[in-house]
Structure 1
Amino acid sequence: MTAKYLVTGASGKLGQSVLRHLTETYQVAPGDIIAGSRKPETLSEWVAKGIQTRVVDFDDAASMEKAFAEAGRVLIISTDALDRPGHRLIQHKAAIAAAEKAGVQHLLYTSMPEPANSPLLFAPDHEGTEAAIKASTIPAWTILRNNWYFENVFLSASSALASGHWYSAAAGGGIAHILRDDIGRAVAAALVAPTEGKTVYTLTGTKAYSHADIAALIGAAAGKKISVVEVPLEGLVQGMVGAGLPEPLARVFASVDTMIGVGGLAKVTADYKTLTGLEPQGFEAWVDSQAAAFNALVK
């Protein structure tokens, strides 16, 4: 049974959001959707609604070829293999090759803002994947360069609210965050859009916020003052290692601050509205809505 759309990484939070918007926001018939995952048994809720599931393992080309052959449009949600440098690019290239072999007509991929020449240590994975897509024989493709999620703020807020200090090597740069569910809506919109061209969208919030801005907003929501402490990049790395993070991952996460510092996440676009017809949720309204969660992190 051939379906119109296939979503990889369907067990993850973004994949779940895309499935929800396909079925609820855009009223796609469940029978026209395939949810792909390494663990399709985790998708029973969607099976009950009529969505098909397939094993899609980015380390198993045969699984991808088989699943992709049943869909006209395929969404590749970038994998989370950050602990093995270069492995994610190998996975993505295998997925693109499988899509070509399966005859996929339209490939979509979730990338990051400005991946070329970026100081972010995993940016080459995205840059290389984009290049492989553009060099492929797939007739149509859409690259969705997603900015950081609002929800990522919790990674820093936990220690900042506990200690009252936010350690930053971002040199005052800003981030045009966007709600994860807004990304899900925009990705679903791109999947169902009638165009068959070759397009790049950069999905951002409406305003860029520095770490000082974010700390002030979160501190106000939680009723605790947070002081931003600028530190050298190596100091940030060693602080993460001291907190228990393996050094290779600490260096990856610290490189996010380097990218922020050079303005790599500050660009604001109207691409979200172009795809959805809506404005993305504002960051300050989201912080207010999460006040209880931030307050729970205060010690």
Structure 2
Amino acid sequence: MTQTADLLVTGASGHLGKAVLTHLIETLNVPAGRIVATSRKPQDLGDWAARGVTVRKADYDDPSGLDDAFAGIRRLLLISTDALDEPGKRLRQHKAAIEAADKAGVSRIVYTSLPDAETSLVSFAPDHAGTEAAIKASGIEGHTLLRNSWYCENVLHALPHALETGKWFTASGKGGTSYITRDDLGLAAATALVSDFSGKRTLSLYGAKPWTVDEVAELARKATGKPLEVVQVPVEGLVQGMIGAGLPGPVARVFASFDAAAAAGNLAGSPADFKALTGRDPQSFEDWFAGNAVPVLTQAG
């Protein structure tokens, strides 16, 4: 019997999208024929098409094409886009997707948001707060807002360079970040997409416990044998340091806002919602670090 393709994963060519597709098919045993995967570059989804997933193009900057992309969809996972090059662009894209989903008769939307979206010091938090508000104001019957904490993988943005220089400059103070793996967030999103839950809910998805920069640095020192000093600086000092190292000012301010958010406690929380949704504990940060970060850091010299 032919499966009706009624579950849609947007941004499916990205790392999180691929994790969601993998968990839908391999962990949750969802027939591939039920799944639609969209991307601005559908040619990048050939492997999924070969597995029976329906592949469609969806470009939020071209809303006229979203009618076909969302046709027949009952439940939609809206993975937030990476459009940070222009203020307001990402929110416009998300609103276009929400309007198209509403028009297509989607009954449930799952969205990947940010902890404390309304108050977070992360510079792009207003994009997430605005998207959540647009979902709530739409005619879509049900929704699950997944407020995803920081990926474990994010520590590899700054840590290799810090180990090279022996100094890790940060403005996070004693604030902790409850890191969670991208794979665990993929499982959570896949589970939310197929869940029988029919109402409206907001879930905050954190790792097992918060980690300060000092604690992460200690893991790195033990793993590599290299000296690493954590140097606390004001947020503006961190911005100027990154600009001096060659980063464009707007990019430096985005990165510095992550530290400000950690210092304010915006990225620390309990894994209770993750466990309630998936039925399992998230992978611990130290286990992820040993299996994923250590090989990268030791190979780097």
Residues 108-119 of structure 1: pairs in structure 2 closer than 5 A: 108-119=110-121
Q: Give deviations 1:144-183, integer Å, cap 9, x for gaps.
A: 0000000000001121111111100112100001010000
- Say if 2:282 is the partner of 1:280: yes
Aligned residue number for residue 300 of structure 2: 297
Partner residue of 2:270 out of 268, 271, 274: 268
- TM-superposed deviation, 1:243: 2.2
- Say if 2:168 is the partner of 1:166: yes
Q: In 1, Cα distance between the equivalents of 2:241 and 2:4?
A: 51
The AA in structure 2 aligned to 1:242 is G
Partner residue of 1:253 out of 232, 252, 255: 255
Q: In 2, Cα distance between the equivalents of 1:95 and 1:35?
A: 14
Q: In 1, Cα distance between the equivalents of 2:110 and 2:65?
A: 18
Residues 83-98 of structure 1: pairs in structure 2 closer than 5 A: 83-98=85-100
Q: Is the contact made by 1:74 and 1:104 (CA closer than 8 Å) also made in structure 2?
A: yes
Q: Give deviations 1:198-235, integer Å, cap 9, x for gaps.
A: 01111110100111111111221122121100011111
The AA in structure 1 aligned to 2:30 is V
Aligned residue number for residue 242 of structure 1: 244
Residues 197-216 of structure 1: pairs in structure 2 closer than 5 A: 197-216=199-218
Residue 175 of structure 1: SS of its match in structure 2? coil
Q: Is the contact made by 2:16 and 2:186 (CA closer than 8 Å) also made in structure 1?
A: yes
Q: In 1, Cα distance between the equivalents of 2:263 and 2:200?
A: 31
Gaps of 5+ in 2: none
- Say if 2:223 is the partner of 1:221: yes
Partner residue of 1:191 out of 180, 183, 193: 193
The AA in structure 2 aligned to 1:146 is N
Q: In 1, Cα distance between the equivalents of 2:184 and 2:170?
A: 27
**How many pairs align?**
298
TM-score, normalised with respect to structure 2: 0.97
- TM-superposed deviation, 1:103: 0.7
Aligned residue number for residue 79 of structure 1: 81
Q: In 2, Cα distance between the equivalents of 1:261 and 1:165?
A: 19
RMSD: 1.1
TM-score, normalised with respect to structure 1: 0.97
Q: In 2, Cα distance between the equivalents of 1:297 and 1:169?
A: 25
Partner residue of 1:68 out of 70, 73, 77: 70
The AA in structure 1 aligned to 2:105 is G
State, as a whole percentage, how many aligned pairs show the same letter. 52
Residue 6 of structure 2: SS of its match in structure 1? strand
The AA in structure 2 aligned to 1:179 is T
Gaps of 5+ in 1: none
Q: Give deviations 1:67-112, integer Å, cap 9, x for gaps.
A: 1122110110000011211111111111111111111011110000
Partner residue of 1:107 out of 103, 106, 109: 109
Q: Is the contact made by 2:209 and 2:271 (CA closer than 8 Å) also made in structure 1?
A: no
